[in-house]
Chain A
Amino acid sequence: MKRLPGLFLRRFVSAIPVILIVIVALYVLMELAPGDAVDTYLASSGGDSEFAANFRRLWGLDQGAAPRFFAYLGRLATLDLGQSLIFSRPVFDVILERLPTTLLLMGASIFVAFGLGTTLGLLAGSKPYSPGDRVLSLLGLLLYAVPSFWLGLILIIIFSVWLNIVPVGGFETIASDKKGLERIQDIAWHLVLPVLSLGLIYLGLYLRLMRSGMVEVWRLDFIRTAWAKGLTQNRIAINHVARNALLPVITVLGLQLGSMLGGSVVIESVFAIPGFGRLAYEAVIQRDFPLLIGVILIGAATVTVINIVIDVAYGWLDPRIGTQQKVKT
């Protein structure tokens, strides 16, 4: 589409002031929070004031807040995200390692949730208020109410400890050096439980959305026309009701995909998966400013890209959207 490059450019340019404000705000918040990176370190190692001073010097924390901030901005202008204090490695490398893991985990969870949830919602919504619908709606409510870490641990107990079908946690078999298809299988097997734990929770959301969307659409005039034409219940349900009920669901899907990079600190902790959520959490607890900003920046970039993709998909799904002419400014 011709207008795509322009769209991307406009979006990125308008995002820059937002990002700058975010960086300043985060910096101020982190400075205001009591203690710095060395204080966290001291909490586990002890040490006298020289010991602390040495590490402050090593990590560049011995200068004042303002000079450090401008030094950071300077490096950022050259697209250098700096060194992580926690990992003593470039922030960019740390993030790049964890990005695919989190995208995989969250992507799969959302896919499972959307696929299963929408289908179940469709089933529930095709015969609203029937016994089937009531059961499915209750299921949706229950799943939505359950905390993800509890569900995760229960799944571990049942499927890993009692039945010994899937591994307890981790991203892949430790130090096994598997390659190619074998590695993909290994990772897939490891991700079954975490994806289920997250997916089942979100499933409740999509189920309820789809179902209530369909209940809405059933009442609309054009459905009456379809009945009048003599179409069967199933055909109406799938071709007409579901299709229209799908739009709000896609909106939520888009929002969720955008927030995907936040990861899930809880699931990543329970299943020992080194992901983005845990990274952000560690960065805050250990006051690792370069890492935290790196996470935010990469996150913002990814969200922007995903949002544009969703906008395009929207336009394709509903031909009414996007056919307006450019609004005269």
Chain B
Amino acid sequence: MAMHPSFSRRTFFRSGLSLIGSATLPRFAFGNDAPHRGGTLIVAADTEPRNLNPAIVASNGVFYVASKVIEPLAEASYQGDGLSPRLATSWVGSKDGLSIAFSLREGVTWHDGKPFTSADVAFSALEIWKKFQNLGREVFENLEAVETPDQKTAIFHFSKPTPFQLIKNALPALTSVVPRHKYEGTDILANPANQKLIGTGPFRFAEYRPGEFYKLERNPSYWEKDRPYLDAIIYRILPDKGAVAAALEAGEIHLAAFSEVPLADLERISKAPGIFIKSQGYEGLTYQLTVEINHRRKELSDARVRRAISLAIDRKFVVDTIFLTYAQASTGPIPKLDKQFYVANKKMADFNPTEANALLDEAGYPRGANGIRFGVKLLPAPWFEETRQFGDYLRQSLKAVGIEAEIVSYDPAGHQKAVYTDHNFDLAIGSPVYRNDPAISTTILYQSGIPTGVPFSNQYGYRNAAVDSIISKAAVAVDGDERIKLYQEFQQLVAEDQPIINVAEFSFVTVARISVRNLANNPRWATSHWADTWLDK
């Protein structure tokens, strides 16, 4: 999985200008290129997760703070096969897909001084990732044992053939290792180590003041020599986005990740002295803007109607106006950025309201006297500004093809329940995350038979035997190439049927002061370890 920075006219213009501009800067502004020790990095945070343990809750809000303290077996990388070793130094999958052998790093200690061994990996995998983790429950479902012949080897044994390719793709997000001696025999969900983290990472958990900040301190006995560079990291809780921008400009914080500075502010803030913008570093954290469709509604169960809805959406408008070009139009269930699996399906991104009208007529839903064919209830997800704005835009686009959409707004808890438990919607705007492999959190959007109440899954009443069959086949396809072929077939099938409509793929933008160095040097930078981040004077 390689990086693919979006290169628009805007990027060219800006980088051209900054190149010319940099030549006029006084010499000291270039900064030192050799990293040096010291400094406290202050970053903006906006959530305070209840459970800070990434082994249990593998989500971005948790990783942002916790991944500097608790490490996975491997992290995502721009180089090589896309993985860089952390707690595991190598991994080999058996031909029959029933076992994977991990060689673990030596000389690693927990923050409380005890040594890190294969027993910790075995415990984390069997007792936590498989039993409790939101994503791991699916991926490690067939993990039946972890053999530990010695302290630096852990062999995962699966009861059914499990694709090595899938586990590799899952390593960065799903394999955070926690200390066995802190969790064994306790109530894992209620364990205080879920807030006062203990890990092997470059930073130790120092302090948490609710509503104010998290503080992490340098781990002097980190396994990587001369790392981390920073002395400490402070996460300042700043709930207001305007205040985040102001704090950056006033020099009170160094960095705001995850688009905490709203897109509309980026133009203005990039001109402020000492501040730069980076949209790279999030390729492994791609979000998808989707229109979720409730197939229980007769009109929406017709593929022609769904295709008409897709044709009514001008994806270029969405990318340019709602995302201010910080997104790409989507052509299918797998984002373009995933070079491993992606197959292009250009016609899924077509914008053709005339054809849409024709399809709706053909499907048997003519316009009434007032120009309306039928009405729908539209529930935009409240958690991103862009999903709410897209809800407004979708309503307008649907009006143009004769569908009257009524927007119903809920807060996060209400939306969750209405869509994924009560199925009380016709159309909804969703933002599922693509996590480097279709099997982790994507196929679940199309698979039938998911119990009610599971968020971000097929709660749409969609059932397609061919799609189900491909998904189950790919789930056990041990051969990497065969697996890729199957997922390509999956994308073609879904393109025809369009059970949910993929509109755009978006990620985030980091705004930082120029003193922050080694920023965005891997595809999951904001949620990775920051051991090599340093502060220039």
A and B pair up: yes
Point out residues on A near B: beta carbons under 8 Å.
Answer: 33-37, 39-52, 54-55, 58, 85-88, 94, 97-98, 149, 153, 156-157, 160-161, 164, 167-171, 174-175, 269-275, 278, 285-287
Complex-state Cα separation, A105 to B334, whole angstroms: 50
Point out residues on B near A: beta carbons under 8 Å.
Answer: 42, 47, 49-50, 57-59, 61-62, 132-135, 137-138, 189-190, 195, 207, 209-213, 215, 234, 236-240, 242-243, 246-247, 249-252, 383, 410-418, 420-422, 433, 441, 451-457
Inside 8 A of A41's CB, which chain B residues have their CB? 50
Q: Is the CB of B413 within 8 A of A174?
A: no
Complex-state Cα separation, A222 to B451, whole angstroms: 80
Complex-state Cα separation, A34 to B415, whole angstroms: 8
Residue from A94, A97, A270 within 8 A of B240 (CB atoms)? A270
Q: Is the CB of A39 within 8 A of B416?
A: yes
Contact A49:B453 (CB < 8 A) given known A36-B413, A54-B189? yes
Which of A45, A149, A153, A164 lies at the interface centre, i.e. has the most chain B CB atoms within 10 A of its CB? Answer: A45
Complex-state Cα separation, A257 to B250, whole angstroms: 34
Q: Is the CB of B134 within 8 A of A45?
A: yes
Q: Please name 17 further chain A to chain B contacts, defined as beta carbons within 8 Å, in addition to the given A35-B412, A39-B414, A175-B207, sorted by A numbering.
A: A37-B413, A45-B57, A45-B59, A47-B57, A47-B135, A48-B134, A51-B134, A153-B242, A156-B246, A161-B246, A161-B250, A167-B250, A174-B236, A269-B239, A274-B237, A285-B412, A286-B413
Q: Is the CB of A94 within 8 A of B210?
A: yes
Residue from B211, B416, B456 within 8 A of A278 (CB atoms)? B211
Complex-state Cα separation, A150 to B58, whole angstroms: 37
Q: Is the CB of A43 within 8 A of B134?
A: no
Contact A274:B416 (CB < 8 A) given known A46-B135, A160-B246? no
Q: Is the CB of A43 within 8 A of B250?
A: no
Q: Is the CB of B238 within 8 A of A169?
A: yes
Q: Is the CB of A39 within 8 A of B252?
A: no
Complex-state Cα separation, A287 to B209, whole angstroms: 22
Min CB gap A57→B, angstroms: 8
Complex-state Cα separation, A42 to B420, whole angstroms: 10
Provide a sorted-by-A list of 19 A–B residue pairs whose CB atoms are within 8 angstroms: A35-B418, A37-B413, A42-B455, A46-B134, A49-B453, A54-B132, A149-B240, A153-B246, A160-B246, A167-B250, A170-B212, A174-B212, A270-B240, A272-B239, A272-B240, A272-B243, A274-B209, A274-B211, A274-B237
Q: Is the CB of B239 within 8 A of A278?
A: yes
Inside 8 A of B246's CB, which chain A residues have their CB? 153, 156-157, 160-161, 168-169
Nearest CB in chain A to that of B132: its residue: A54
Contact A43:B413 (CB < 8 A) given known A94-B210, A98-B211, A269-B240? yes
Q: Is the CB of B210 within 8 A of A274?
A: yes
Complex-state Cα separation, A322 to B39, whole angstroms: 63
Nearest CB in chain B to that of A159: its residue: B250
Inside 8 A of A58's CB, which chain B residues have their CB? 189-190
Inside 8 A of A169's CB, which chain B residues have their CB? 238, 240, 243, 246-247
Which of A86, A153, A170, A175 lies at the interface centre, i.e. has the most chain B CB atoms within 10 A of its CB? Answer: A175
Inside 8 A of B49's CB, which chain A residues have their CB? 44
Inside 8 A of B190's CB, which chain A residues have their CB? 58
Inside 8 A of B237's CB, which chain A residues have their CB? 272, 274
Which of A50, A94, A169, A270 lies at the interface centre, i.e. has the most chain B CB atoms within 10 A of its CB? Answer: A169
Contact A35:B416 (CB < 8 A) given known A54-B132, A278-B211? yes
Inside 8 A of B457's CB, which chain A residues have their CB? 48
Inside 8 A of B132's CB, which chain A residues have their CB? 51, 54
What 4 A-B pairs are tightest by C-beta distance, nearest first? A274-B211, A35-B413, A47-B134, A35-B417
Nearest CB in chain A to that of B57: its residue: A45
Q: Is the CB of A88 within 8 A of B137?
A: no
Nearest CB in chain B to that of A57: its residue: B189
Q: Is the CB of A272 within 8 A of B413?
A: no
Q: Is the CB of B47 within 8 A of A44?
A: yes
Residue from B138, B189, B211, B412 within 8 A of A43 (CB atoms)? B412
Min CB gap A146→B, angstroms: 16
Inside 8 A of A157's CB, which chain B residues have their CB? 246
Inside 8 A of A52's CB, which chain B residues have their CB? 453-454
Complex-state Cα separation, A58 to B510, whole angstroms: 36
Residue from B57, B247, B249, B412 within 8 A of A40 (CB atoms)? B412
Inside 8 A of A275's CB, which chain B residues have their CB? 211
Contact A46:B249 (CB < 8 A) given known A40-B416, A174-B42? no
Complex-state Cα separation, A273 to B212, whole angstroms: 7
Nearest CB in chain A to that of B253: its residue: A168
Inside 8 A of A160's CB, which chain B residues have their CB? 246, 250, 252
Complex-state Cα separation, A211 to B57, whole angstroms: 58
Q: Is the CB of A171 within 8 A of B212?
A: yes
Q: Is the CB of A49 within 8 A of B61?
A: no
Complex-state Cα separation, A149 to B240, whole angstroms: 10
Complex-state Cα separation, A149 to B411, whole angstroms: 21
Complex-state Cα separation, A124 to B138, whole angstroms: 71
